[in-house]
Amino acid sequence: MSPDKKATLFLVATPIGNLSEASPRSVEVLKSVDVIACEDTRNSKKLLSHFDIHTRMITYHNFNERESSKGILSLLEKGEDVALISDAGYPLISDPGYLLVQEVIKAGFAIVTVSGPNAGLNALVASGLPTGHYLFYGFLNAKASQDEKELAALKDFPYTLIFYEAPHRIEKTLKLALKVLGDRRACLARELTKLHEEYHRDTLSKLCELHDLKGEMVLIIEGQNEEKEVSLEVLLKEVKEEIKAGMRSKEAISTVAKKYDVSKNSLYEEYLKQKEDKQDEGE
C-alpha cells in the first residue's frame, strides 16, 4: 500500500444462496484484502473455497462485536485492508457491523461498499406488492409480547413492510400479523436464489394455512391503505354510471371492483340483488 493511501474497510455483500451471484468485484476484493472479518468462518469458508480465496479470516459477530471492532481498527492502523462480510447478503442489514462502521468513521479510515444480493429487495420486487415506498424492518423481537408491540407501531404505515423471519417462528408471526394488521395482501418468499426458491402470494389469512415451511424467510406485507372504506351504495352507483356510459354490466362491475380493490363476485351479487329488489317493487 502506498504511504499516502489510507487503509480501507470494505463492506462486501455475499450471495444469499446461489454462489454464482458473487460479483467479479466482490471476489477480487476478497482476494486482495489482508483480512476478512466474517460471522462464522465455517459458513464463509464454503464461499471462499468455491472461488479459491485464501485470505486470512477472523470472526466478527454479535457476541464479540466490541472487542473485534478494536482488533479490526488495529489492523487498519497497521495499514491492512479489511473486508467485512456476513453469512449471506449485506453486512449490517440484520447482521453485525454497525458498531464497527461507527468506529472506523471516527478513526478516519476509508469505507467502501461492494454491492451484491439482498434478500429483502429480491422478495420485494417479485412480491406483486407496491414498491414505490417501502419500510425494511428486518426481524421482529423474539420476546413474547414485544413482537406484537412492534407490529402495532407499524399498523398505520402506508408503506410496504419487509420482514425477515426464521422458519421455526414463521407460523406464529403470520398469525400475529393477521391479528394486529388485519387481513392484508402479503407475500412469503423462501429459499431465495436456491434450488427450492418459492413465493406464496395471497392474503395473510391464506398464508396462515401454510405449514412445515423451511429455509430462510422474507415476509412482505402491504401497507395501510390510506383510502377510506367505500360504502356499497357508492360502489353500486359507480357501476350504474359505467353502464350508462356504455359498459356491459359485468365489465362495469369488474372495473369498479378493481378500482376499489373489492371482491368482484361480491359486488356482482349485490348488483343483482338490488336489481331484483327494484323489479319486485315495480310489480
Residue range 212-262, pLDDT digits in tens: 999 989 999 999 975 546 778 888 999 999 999 999 999 999 998 887 778
Domain map (residue ranges) of the chain: 8-117, 120-221, 232-282
Residue 255 is classified by DSSP as H
Residue range 202-226, pLDDT digits in tens: 999 999 999 999 998 999 999 997 5
Matching CATH topology for 8-117 and 120-221?
no
Where residue 178 falls (left for φ over 0; alpha for ψ -120 to 50; beta otherwise) is alpha
Torsion of CA 176, 213, 118, 98, to 10 degrees: 60
Torsion of CA 88, 89, 91, 96, to 10 degrees: -50
Q: Residue 2's pLDDT is what? A: 44
Contact between 136 and 221 under an 8 Å Cβ cutoff? The reply is: no
Q: Is 149 helix (H, G, I), strand (E, B) or coil?
A: helix
CATH topology of domain 120-221: 3.30.950
Reference 67, options 43, 33, 99, 35; nearest CA is 99
Least confident of 177-191, 237-251, 259-273: 259-273
CATH superfamily of 8-117: Tetrapyrrole methylase, N-terminal domain (3.40.1010.10)
- Measured between alpha carbons, how far is 253 from 218 in angstroms, rounded to an integer? 35
pTM of the model: 0.76
